Structure 1
Amino acid sequence: MRWEAGQRVEGLGDASSGRRRWWQALVSYTAELGQPQWHRANLYQRFISTLEKADEPPAGLPSRVFICGISALPPVYLQALQALGKHVDVYVLFTNPCRYYWGDIKDPAFLAKLLSRQRRHHRRGARATSVSRHRAGAGVV
């Protein structure tokens, strides 16, 4: 958007001047064709600034938004969610980094009961059984 205004973007080096001229030519050509000047960057910026300037939630917004299963978000998405959070509850639900299924995690007292049961079976000569229902991932006690 700075290129559209004829400004340089710091940190892009000398190659950016050619890209800037190309972008300005593309914007001019789009205007000559009578096409809308919208692109992803200015749409996001307009969305964010509209939400930030609004004192009341714009019509049609839900009371809450849930974001599920996203492992990475670009900064502009985070800015949009932050602006949206000014008006509605935004919940970001992260995936669990644990490699084990939490449903298989047992209470220590329950595991102690299983161990004592296995000891009794072992004393009687019965075959030992696994503490876990997934035999491949658990040792035999």
Structure 2
Amino acid sequence: YLNELRENCLEAYTGIVQGLKGDAEVPNPEVQLIQQHIQYMVHFVLTIANDPEITDSLIAACAGLLGDLCAAFGPGLLALVENEPIHVMLTKGKKSKNTKTRTLSGWAIKEIRKLRAPAGVVGVTAGLVNNVIGATASESWSVSRSVD
């Protein structure tokens, strides 16, 4: 029952993100309405990722939500989604026998990789993360450096 409830919650979150983001290449500005809730969505995914009883369908639902969040919010989300439990979960999903789980996990991994700076430059912009977790604007930071 708990796994089914979690899966339905993830699908609801995904529907909200997709609905507000829209179909255009550039996300609809209305998606910013859920910015303050992103940390809770990612925390929910982390809770599931850390559960030893995780199912393929839960991995697929988590991967779908993570991919949609990455597509909607861009590089500012990287600090929230690039961590060991999510990496382990998506790697497990990519090796799944279930086609949907493999496909969504692979896509989520690609979306997370896209958030990293283009070749030659590594950049981290944490303004979104700071805003999401309640930091003030003066606490926002940005770091970038060249990579040889």
Query: TM-score, with normalisation over the residues of structure 2?
Result: 0.27
- Give the greater-gyration-radius structure (CA): 1
Query: TM-score, with normalisation over the residues of structure 1?
Result: 0.28
User: Relative contact order (C-alpha < 8 Å, sep 6+): which is higher?
Assistant: 2
